[in-house]
Structure 1
Amino acid sequence: MNQNIDMFLLNNADNINNKNKLVVVGMSGGVDSSVAAWILKQNGYKVIGLFMKNWEDEESSNCTYKDDLLDAASVADKIGIDFEYINFSKEYKDKVFSIFLKEYSLGRTPNPDILCNSEIKFRVFLDYCLNLGAQYIATGHYARIRKTGSKYQLLKAIDLKKDQSYFLYRLNQEQLSRSIFPLGDICKTKVREIAKKIGLHNFNKKDSTGICFIGEKSFSSFLERFIPVKEGVILTIDGKKIGTHKGVHFYTLGQRKGLGIGGVKDYSSYDALDTGAWYVARKDLKKNIIYAVRSKHHQLLNTSRLQAANIHWIDNSMPAIKNNLYHAKTRYRQLDSECKLLNLNDDELEIMFTEKQWAITPGQSVVIYDNDICMGGGIIY
């Protein structure tokens, strides 16, 4: 066992004696949560693995939850821990999916993974586990927790390519105090090595991608089941019609695929020097119009300021803003970018980036960092 892993877990739990401490691990059937459960057992915890079913749909069965459930149960048996199954589908639809649909109906692009973490995995799941008598919950997220004085900090993972702190920025002090992230100090390649070495059959299982309730289906086809199609026009910035669309709700800023205008030759003189792909640059919800530009570098897609609301600070306090430089990102797969925080109040803020950012999208989250400390963030509007 890697000594660095041991020390991380012991410090995270604030107590060297783990023998009688019960931790429930959210097991998805993937390699990350499987190795997380094994590490916890190796560190002396009493471990229960729990598989959460978060989506149920009579019309479609996009999620591979049955296969994932079998994988999780098999791993639990292999490493010698108790295993349970719980259905949180109702809670997921009420607390995540309903908000997801509402945001899309308003022309915004929400992030269901962030909603799922804040409302299901670290609220409904946490409450359920505490009622079982658990002291902690654990997941296979790549992030770290550090206690400084009486405060808990959320830190980036050591493996920055896999760091998932972006998805966890809405966690609060109570949730962090009850959580363990066993993989925060380990690289993904090492996780797979551990899984193979201890004989886990899923050591090379492909990482899950996309949204569970959509699966392999077309995203727009899925949305059509819930949001009516309303055909409109696609215009250039100077008002020339170049195509049609089926409703602004089905498109997001910066979107390139699925516009149906890739072969348009007679484009506006405004973009006459550009011969690349078309991108969604602006949406007019009231008039049901999409404006497209034929350049990823167009000024409408590259801006240095954003405004955000529904602000959450992990340590419950506003950061200093006078002359302070921080870093932030508006998408998960994005490098942090230097910025300043402006016009800060209880529930709104403005962020000014040193360099322009591409396709800042209403409904997405902006997450703010002070070096490797995730301070919090908000919803872009």
Structure 2
Amino acid sequence: MSSPGVVVGVSGGVDSSVAALTLVQQGLDVAGLFMQNWADDGSGHCRAEDDRRDAVAVCGRLGIPFHFRDFSNEYWQGVFEHFLAEYAAGRTPNPDVLCNREVKFKHFLDAARELGAERIATGHYAQVVKSGGLWQLLRGADRSKDQSYFLHQLGQSQLAATLFPIGHLDKSELRRIAREAALPTHAKKDSTGICFIGERDFREFLGQYLPAREGEIHDPDGRVIARHPGVFYFTLGQREGLNIGGVRGRPAAPWFVVGKDVERNILYVDQGHDSPWLQSNWLRSETMHWISGAPPARQFECTAQTRYRQPDEPCSVQVRDDGTLDVRFSRPQRAVTPGQSLVLYDGAQCLGGAVIAATDAPLERRLGAPVSP
């Protein structure tokens, strides 16, 4: 069997199916590879076997070879252990970012090269171009589906070896292409949420690894108003799952998480979606990853996202000597969350990103944020 020119990561979903179809239609020598990143834990919530069958069916329909690799050990060590450590520390990690860096564009790329391929391809909504001798990561044309946020840890060597065949399409057009090509996945629903949790309750899943420790729920003034099952089950801005009934002297309005004191096991809440306790104007990041290998300047203006699908937010960036960033926004930002990713953009170009370390949100400063602007 001859070596493929491109190995497509076939996930069993419609996006990767159309990515493979597009490359076949371009006349490339294509093979598909299915990655199993999570071992079935017997819960009945793991969809890997169903997804694998769909991936096999797609490759059969396209007449391309199918390959399988089990990366569950690599995923556990490179992604899941970090995920648990961050939650235990009271932060909110983004496993999709680590999965792309540690598995899909490392172990998958290595596996494709072992098969003799020159390049890999995935069904991400993003685009790659070369300009001025450097590879650039651009947003997907369908802004509502753009996944460059999750790909910001990629570098020059990875982008040089990667194709994003569907990055120029919008979702409705992609579904039409899949339907007309009679791909077995043309009507399959998009997967949502964290892949290894599936459809099960997040708190129930996390409780298997981080035993619950009940504690008090306080308002920002320190008044005890309820109890919680564990601070690490909650993230800033969250409304669901608080189970706070009527509180004497307070209006009948929803409560939102505005802070966590992990050491004292206290969860802080306030009423109002846009509570001032959720607002910040500034953040400091951990060490920044630049896709080009270097920042555009020591100080510059750009736009940023601090969460997926957030509108572009104008900001000013100061690059510190240790590689971390100070970022100041032109208007207050809601629920900027340590552990999540800050991703910077120059128009459609993704410059790179970093983990958010701290902000100037009022409660975070009161609880002893490690840094200040």
Q: Secondary structure of 2:200's partner? A: coil
- 1:293 is paired with a residue whose SS is strand
Q: Which residue of 2 aligns with 1:171?
A: 154
SS in 1 for 2:174: helix
Unaligned runs of 5+ in 1: 1-18
1:356 is matched with: 332
Matched, 1:293 2:270: yes
Of residues 314, 320, 333, the one that matches 2:291 is: 314
Among residues 46, 70, 86, which one is paired with 1:103 in the alignment? 86
Percent sequence identity is 47
In the alignment, the residues of structure 1 paired with residue 248 and residue 186 of structure 2 have an alpha-carbon distance, to the nearest angstrom, of: 52
Question: What is the CA distance between 1:92 and its match in structure 2?
Answer: 0.6
With over 3 angstroms needed to count, the CA separation of the structure-2 counterparts of 1:184 and 1:58, relative to structure 1, is: closer
Per-residue CA distance 1:196-243 (angstroms, 9 max, x = gap): 111112111100001121111110111111012111100111111111
| Paired residue secondary structure (1:102) | helix
Give distance in 2, aligned partners of 1:371 and 1:295.
Answer: 33
Q: Deviations over 1:254-291 (max 9, x none)?
A: 11100110x22325xxxx5x642101101111111111
CA drift at 1:310: 2.7
Provide the rounded CA distance (Å) in 2 between the counterparts of 1:355 and 1:275: 29
Q: Distance in 2 between matches of 1:352 and 1:344?
A: 13
Other-structure match for 1:44:
27
1:255 aligns with 2:238: yes
Equivalent position amino acid for 1:73 in 2: V
1:321 and 1:340 in contact (8 A); partners too = no
Looking at structure 2, the residues matched to 168 and 345 of structure 1 have their Cα atoms a distance apart, in angstroms, of 25
Distance 2:69 2:44 in 1: 18
Q: Distance in 2 between matches of 1:305 and 1:191?
A: 39
Q: Distance in 2 between matches of 1:55 and 1:61?
A: 13
Greater Cα offset, 136-145 or 66-75: 66-75
Cα 1:57–1:78 change in 2 (3 A) is closer
Shift of 1:149: 2.8
After superposition, give the CA deviation of every residue in 1:33-64 in whole Å (9 maximum; x if it has no partner): 00100110111211001111110143424221
Residue 373 (structure 1) aligned with residue 349 (structure 2) = yes
CA contact (8 A) 1:242 1:264 kept: no
Contact 1:20–1:45 (8 Å) recurs in 2: no
Separation in 2 of the partners of 1:309 and 1:113? 18
Residue 347 of structure 1 and its aligned partner are, at CA, apart by 2.6
Task: Give structure 2 stretches of 5+ with no counterpart.
Answer: 358-373
Segment of structure 1 superposing worse, 345-354 or 145-154: 345-354
CA contact 1:275–1:294 (8 Å) conserved in 2 = no
**Residue 149 and residue 21 in structure 1: after superposition, are their counterparts in 2 closer, same or farther (change >3 A)?**
farther
Which residue in the other structure is 2:134 paired with?
151
The answer for the alignment partner of 1:27 in structure 2 is: 10
Would you say the 8 A contact 1:29–1:72 is kept in 2? yes
Give the conservation status (yes or no) of the 8 Å contact 1:53–1:65.
yes
Deviation sequence 1:347-378 (CA, Å, 0-9, x none): 31111111111100010001000011000011
Equivalence for 2:362:
none
Return the offset for 1:344: 2.8
* SS of structure 1 residue aligned to 2:109: helix
RMSD: 1.5
Deviation at 1:128, TM superposition (A): 1.1
Deviation of 1:20 after TM superposition, in Å, equals 8.5
Cα separation, 2, equivalents of 1:165 and 1:320:
22
Count of matched residue positions in the alignment of Structure 1 and Structure 2: 356
- Contact 1:329–1:335 (CA<8 Å) still a contact in 2? yes
TM-score in terms of structure 1 length: 0.91
1:284 aligns with 2:267: no
Larger deviation, residues 338-347 vs 240-249: 338-347
The corresponding residue for 2:112 is 129
Q: 1:101-157: per-residue Cα shift (whole Å, max 9, x none)?
A: 011111110001001000000001101111111100000000000111321000001
**Misfit runs of 4+, over 2 Å:** 57-61, 342-347
Contact 2:225 2:247 in 1 (8 A): no
Match of 1:15 in 2: none
1:180 maps to which of 163, 166, 175:
163
1:265 aligns with 2:247: yes
Superposed CA offset, 1:164-219 (max 9, x none): 00000000100000000001111111111111111112111100001121111110
Shift of residue 343 of structure 1? 4.7
**2:56 corresponding residue in structure 1:** 73
Instruction: Give 2:320's aligned residue.
Output: 344
1:325 alignment partner, SS class: strand
